[in-house]
Structure 1
Amino acid sequence: MIARSLLLFALAAVAEIGGAYLMWQAIKEGRGVLFAVAGAVALIGYGAVAALQPDDDFGRVLAAYGGVFIVGSLAWGMAFDGFRPDRYDLTGAGICLVGVLLIMYAPRSA
């Protein structure tokens, strides 16, 4: 169940960050309407993937995804935009991932 949840977070991050990047390229870099449409489709996909999380608490899932989004955004910037994180970026990303793990997977009493 945790592995499935982590995979869904990763897929959601690719869809949302990729969609936002395509939209950025369309608007900021003048790449055209096809980039914008592809970005919009990817963002719709993000919403659908996020809803597949096994946890039924919307607030919990989206709060935890916020940490995944932060780490994924830094990674995307490194892979596609020449961004190089400093030690504060990396430390913050690590803290975010600890938060994700606590929010989503800490044992809870029923």
Structure 2
Amino acid sequence: MLVLRSVLLFVLAAVAEIGGAWLIWQGVREHKGLLWIGAGVIALGAYGFVATLQPDANFGRILAAYGGVFVAGSLAWAMLVDKFRPDRYDLIGAAICLVGVAIIMYAPRS
């Protein structure tokens, strides 16, 4: 149950961070305005709080593992929202990152 909770928190964190950065990008680069930028700032702040809900108490471990989630999540976001089509090297790299996440977060420790 702890692993499922952790995975769901990583997904929520990815949506908040990637979504927040995307909203700011839209506000600035696509000239959608301050409302989009403000929503992005709020989402990025929410990401910071979501990370604190992880069951592991080690900030460095959580952030390191989240880096792999961010890589895969960014490609997924790009596919869903921006209609980006990753090539096989993008997918292989994301898979390697997710294997790293699993090792960092869920390997048995004494």
* Aligned residues with identical type, % of pairs: 68
How many residues align? The count is 109
**5 Å matches for 1:1-110?**
1-109=2-110
Whichever residue aligns with residue 22 of structure 2, its letter is: Y
Whichever residue aligns with residue 104 of structure 2, its letter is: I
The root-mean-square deviation of aligned C-alpha atoms, in Å, is: 0.4
Which TM-score applies when normalising by structure 1?
A: 0.98
Tell me how far apart the structure 2 counterparts of residues 104 and 3 of structure 1 sit (CA, whole Å): 12
**Which structure 2 residue ranges, 5 or more long, are not aligned?**
none
**Which structure 1 residue ranges, 5 or more long, are not aligned?**
none
Post-superposition offset of 1:63 = 0.2
Whichever residue aligns with residue 100 of structure 1, its letter is: V
Moved over 6 A (4+): none
